[in-house]
Amino acid sequence: MRTRNFILGAILILVLGSGCASTQVTGTPKLGFNFSSIDKVAVVAIEGSLESEAAKQQLTDMMNQQLLGKGYSPVERQQMLSVMQERDFQTTSITGAANLGKVLNVGAVIIANVPNYTDKMSMSAKMISVSDNSILWTANGTGDTGKGATQLLSGLGGALGGGLIGGAAGGSTGGTIGALTGGALGAVGGDALSPQKAEQANALITQLFGSLPPRSGGMAVPVTTSAYQQ
């Protein structure tokens, strides 16, 4: 009973504290550039630690949503991938990304990099002019996904579930059942991190693109530094 009460108390503490996360972002637009001259924009590359196409598609959708909110017309990722496959484009360099942008008939392209996508997420993005390969805007930031708290919460949840089942079974058999069940529940919960990571990625992307001048705003503003507390 004491063990169960302790686990319940620990879970309650984690539930109350696991929602706290923050992002820190610095963004720099090209001063003096008239962003109203850019209409269509394509996110042509998401490099770094992400290997899943589904994850890249999700981040691209988040970025496209931000671009729409700024008055730009984003290109769908599937359209961009189709052109890349047909022409065998490489977007790891500024020149390659700009060349792809010319084929897509856009005014600018965006390259994003996600070097770290664990409990401490980091991300950077840059907008490149297709006409002269110049960098029009760049931003980078870090965010806390709260992964550690989620894993601990899942493990405690598994332990609690196993303890309850083991207690019902009783004896040494109950202990074995409890251990196995607790491990299984903890593993399942520990893997269920995608929704929380997506939420934190969206918060970070929102802050990154907050420093991108809107198309209707015209001229760029000075460097912007912002922090977001969730």
- From first to last of its 230 residues, what are the pLDDT tens digits of the chain? 655 555 445 444 444 444 455 778 999 999 999 999 999 999 999 998 887 888 889 999 999 999 999 999 999 999 988 888 887 777 778 888 999 999 999 999 999 999 987 778 899 999 999 999 999 999 999 987 554 544 444 444 444 444 444 555 555 445 444 443 443 333 333 332 368 788 888 999 999 999 999 998 655 555 445 554 44
Structure tokens at 140: 């980078």
Residue 195, pLDDT score: 82
Instruction: List the chain domain ranges.
Output: 26-145+193-218, 149-189
- Residue identified by tokens 């503003």 is 221
Superfamily in which the 26-145+193-218 domain is placed by CATH? ABC-type transport auxiliary lipoprotein component (3.40.50.10610)
pTM above 0.85, yes or no: no
Residue 51, pLDDT score: 79
Residue 227, pLDDT score: 54
Residue 179, pLDDT score: 40
